[in-house]
Copies of this chain bind each other. A is one copy, B any other.
Amino acid sequence: MKQKTTLKQLSKELNVSVSTVSKALNNSSEISTKTIKRVKELAKLYGYKPNPVAVSLKRNKTFTIGILIPDILNHFFAKVLHGIEEQASLKGYKIITCLTNESLDKEKEYLEMLEYNKVDGIIAALSKETQVKEDFSHFKNFKSLDKPLVLFDRITDEIDCDKVLVDDQKAAQDVFEYLKEQNRKNIAVVSTLPHLSVIVARLQGVMTSANQTSTNVKTLMISETKDAESKINDFFKNESFDALIGLDETAASIAINAAKHYQVKIPKDLAIVGFTDGLLAKNAYPKMSVVSQHAIELGKNTVKILLERIENKTLKPKRFIQPTTLIKRASSE
């Protein structure tokens, strides 16, 4: 087994003190350039790397960020995680990924674990249960430790911290206007996750545009995931519409299948637009138009904001709005 080099070993070989070695490696101005050179050469030769555990203990800083993700099987979150990971590793931070599985209890548990493990900060999207029960005590508690917290996508006004969010309301308005421009008369809106803050915002966007244009909109909000399929099928049977906005990935995907089931022609008789540019949209038949939330970018931005905050705790909490793009594909044109 290869032995890890330590400062002590280097100092012995170089006949200088451990302090000198440490300072030299950290480019301290106290040390002569000659010594610095000697030290660094030997360190390089031995492939010396400081033990991060010891550095953490001394500096009270772990270069670790805790991430709370509600559901990794959701493409949007997978992409955000991808972005977070990329940006964090670029800046020399590790991430501890915690999957809360949409559960409030797991969220509480993990938050405690992360606190206990001395992460330098936390990035989180609230679990579904947390948003439904509106229990944010654990986050408030965490905030009182004076450690930075950045909330993204699934957020709440109840917690005072940096927030990164998608402009869901505007995105939904864009979709609506796009469909109106196509002269679609009867617009339907479907979601399988009506309790989430993002879905509420999207619905609001649609409704705002609908009111402005005096358009009637049919909505189907399904709170029990398991009924989604039959409810959407019934909706297709009983209502008539020539455009459908799926406020979440699942809703749009089920709808496109329902259309096939009832042999509705897409996009001629029905235009479908979904949210989240994930696998389901790209592999749909026909390919689905969607609002892309630029999830990878969003993940990167979340990390940037957290690191700024770690460096400067006195900044005022801010909101960063991630712009969206409407990707037009065969399901709507």
Interface centre among A82, A261, A285 (most CB of B within 10 A): A285
In the complex, how many angstroms separate the beta carbon of A257 from the nearest chain B beta carbon?
4
A96 B99 Cβ-Cβ under 8 A:
no
Copies in the complex: 2
What separation, in Å, do the CA atoms of A278 and B72 have in the docked complex? 12
Q: CB of A181 within 8 A of chain B?
A: no
A116 B52 Cβ-Cβ under 8 A:
yes
Partner of A117, one of B94, B118, B257, B285: B94
B283 A144 Cβ-Cβ under 8 A:
no
Q: CB of A2 within 8 A of chain B?
A: yes
What separation, in Å, do the CA atoms of A52 and B56 have in the docked complex? 11
Q: CB of A307 within 8 A of chain B?
A: no
Residues of B near A52 (CB, < 8 A) are 116-118
Partner of A62, one of B49, B53, B113, B279: B53
Interface 9-mer from A73-81, A120-128, A167-175: A73-81
Residues of B near A256 (CB, < 8 A) are 285
Q: CB of A7 within 8 A of chain B?
A: no
Interface centre among A51, A62, A99 (most CB of B within 10 A): A99
A260 B285 Cβ-Cβ under 8 A:
yes
What 0/1 pattern do residues 70 to 97 of A give for CB contact below 8 A with B?
A: 0011010011011001100100001111
The count of residues in chain A whose C-beta lies closer than 8 Å to any C-beta of chain B is 47
Q: CB of A1 within 8 A of chain B?
A: yes
Q: CB of A326 within 8 A of chain B?
A: no
A118 B51 Cβ-Cβ under 8 A:
yes
In the complex, how many angstroms separate the beta carbon of A127 from the nearest chain B beta carbon?
15
What 0/1 pattern do residues 130 to 170 of A give for CB contact below 8 A with B?
A: 00000000000000111000000000000000000000000
In the complex, how many angstroms separate the beta carbon of A149 from the nearest chain B beta carbon?
14
Partner of A113, one of B79, B94, B101, B117: B94
What separation, in Å, do the CA atoms of A329 and B57 have in the docked complex? 55
What separation, in Å, do the CA atoms of A280 and B256 have in the docked complex? 13
Partner of A257, one of B57, B82, B86, B285: B285
What separation, in Å, do the CA atoms of A144 and B4 have in the docked complex? 12
Residues of A within 8 A of B (CB): 1-2, 49, 51-54, 56-57, 62, 72-73, 75, 78-79, 81-82, 85-86, 89, 94-99, 101, 110, 113, 116-118, 144-146, 250, 253-254, 256-257, 260-261, 278-280, 283, 285
A-B contact pairs, 6 of them (CB 8 A): A1-B145, A49-B116, A53-B57, A72-B81, A82-B101, A261-B285
Beyond contacts A53-B118, A279-B279: 6 other A-B pairs, Cβ-Cβ < 8 A, are A52-B117, A53-B62, A72-B81, A78-B78, A254-B283, A260-B260
